Amino acid sequence: MKKTIRTLFLSMLLFGLLSACSTTQKITNSARTATEQLLISEAITRSLPKQIDLPLPMPKGAIVKLDVTGLTPDKDMAKGVVAGWLGFLGYTVQDGPENAAYRVNLVIDSLGSEVGNTFIGIPPVEASLLPIALPELALFKAELQSGYARFHLDVFDMPSGRFIASSSPFIADTFYNAYTVLFLISFNKTDLTSPPQIRTFPKGTK
């Protein structure tokens, strides 16, 4: 009986040591990881079509004042992306009201990221009765991240402030999913363009 228990303990310890290289490192010096930043920024960009079926109620070349409203701290980045898109469509975008014929209010309904997790295996064991802590043993682990953007534009006449029209919602999402199977096999699936790569060994090590 004691031999069986000792064999089981040694097996768990070995699996724990082997599975250490499959754990996800989440140390970052920025408020958001690089992957999370891409999830949000690409969701904004993808929501904006290169050509719109129904033109905005403003003549091409018009000078517009762009404002932004939203609950997210990322609204300034969204404003910059939309400003570039309006410029691509032929409008002249500025922050101030000088010479502006229209005011465009960017209303952000939702902008952010979501995380979901699925785990099948043995969770980490903290050192209490045993003299050593064991890492998690993942038969299957999935960390599912998604970015989502939904916003619309309200157009007003200047200087009267008369409301003209609202655009249809601009909606898009992105995803980055990381998987671990049988302790050691790790891979990911994503629709991001050139996502950052998590390296097991330092860059330049062969």
Task: Kindly state the helix (H) or strand (E) to which residue 137 belongs, with its residue range.
Answer: strand 137-157
In this prediction, residue 114 carries a pLDDT of 93
* pTM: predicted TM-score of the whole model, two decimal places: 0.76
User: 181: which strand partners?
Assistant: 140, 185
Angle at the Cα of 21 (from 15 to 22), degrees rounded to 5? 85
The owner of tokens 């989440």 is 26
> Domain residue spans in the chain?
28-124+132-190
pLDDT tens for each residue of the chain, 206 residues long: 555 545 544 555 454 444 444 445 455 566 789 999 999 999 999 999 887 666 788 998 999 999 999 999 999 999 999 999 999 999 999 999 999 999 999 999 999 999 999 988 888 777 666 567 777 788 899 999 999 999 999 999 999 999 999 999 999 999 999 999 988 888 999 999 988 876 655 555 54
In this prediction, residue 91 carries a pLDDT of 94
Angle at the Cα of 117 (from 138 to 202), degrees rounded to 5? 65
Domain 28-124+132-190 has CATH 3.40.50: yes
- Segments in the chain forming alpha helices (H): 2-19, 34-47, 75-88
In this prediction, residue 26 carries a pLDDT of 54
> Which tokens belong to 2?
């004691």
Neighbours of 164 (CB within 10 A): 14
In this prediction, residue 45 carries a pLDDT of 96
Task: Kindly state the helix (H) or strand (E) to which residue 105 belongs, with its residue range.
Answer: strand 102-122
